[in-house]
Amino acid sequence: MRLTVLGRSPARPNPDEACAGYLLDAGGSRLLLDAGPGVVAQLLRLGHPDELDAVVISHMHTDHFLDLVTLRYVYPWADEARRKLRVILPPGSMEQMADMARGAGYPDFWEKAFTLEEHDGERPFEVGAARLEPGPTQHYIPTWGFRITTRGPDEDPSRLFVYSADSAPCEQLERLIEGAHLLLCEATLRSLGEDAAPPEPRGHLLPAEAGEIARRAGVERLVLTHLPAGPAGAPEAHDQASLAFGREVAIAEPQRSHEI
């Protein structure tokens, strides 16, 4: 498997960067994980979106799904697409998608180009040779991360990639990421003051929390994403996470790939 970062920004994007979006090549299948604003423009640098086998959305915050609108405009606009793109959404998302179609002024805005479906939040599903197992995380709205393996002929089926999506520290997150060979983990917070104030439940991670949770879960390699970063990257986040993880941590960089 190979992961390519398209966007790493949080909801407030970093200058000249996209929000959350990641391209995963797995066993001959190509998946787009999340589609925040700016992601499609980055995807077009690597090829045409009709090369995708599916788009998988972790949760319905706009910084993770709003570029589905842009992606729709890349497909044939006047005519129906010859091959409709599979878009896999979190449970309970269809009405929100219908609202967006009505807002666009076209009742069949999605149907001409996409096949929309919801996973059930529990059972694994497949996209070609890739197997995705959803796991809930603790965020401000219902959110799922994914454990992903592949049965491709040239792939090692034991290799495990995990995408945390957005999450506060919680037992569900630790179960989700356990044993990952590569974990792509959010680390949005610079301080706890940026998260929800008690008694409201938290929704994001500090870099040190990401590193500590990854260490306890036996993660092999950790890549931090969904974080504010300047031209020099995010050195403080890197150092805090590395210290807690006990080994080197990578910072997600746009257009950089990671072999799994």
- What confidence score (pLDDT) does residue 153 get? 72
∠ CA 210-148-66 to the nearest 5 degrees?
A: 75
Q: What does the pLDDT average to over 93-111?
A: 89
Q: What does the pLDDT average to over 176-193?
A: 97
Number of other CB atoms surrounding residue 106 within 10 Å: 13
Q: How confident is the model at residue 82 (pLDDT cuts 50, 70, 90)?
A: confident
Strands 182-186 and 221-225, by their bridges, are parallel
pLDDT beyond 80 at 112: yes
Number of other CB atoms surrounding residue 235 within 10 Å: 11
Q: Is the dihedral of CA 201, 214, 221, 130 positive or negative?
A: negative
Q: Is the pTM of this model over 0.85?
A: yes
What does CATH list as the number for 2-259? 3.60.15.10
Q: Smallest Cα–Cα separation from 55: which of 91, 17, 29, 73?
A: 29
Please answer whether residues 27 and 151 qualify as being in contact, where contact means their C-beta atoms are separated by less than 8 angstroms.
yes
Q: How confident is the model at residue 44 (pLDDT cuts 50, 70, 90)?
A: very high
Q: Where are the beta strands (DSSP E) in the chain?
A: 2-7, 21-26, 29-33, 54-56, 85-89, 114-118, 125-127, 130-137, 143-150, 161-163, 182-186, 221-225, 250-251, 257-259
- CA distances to 42, 98, 140 from 55, rounded to whole Å, are 15, 17, 22
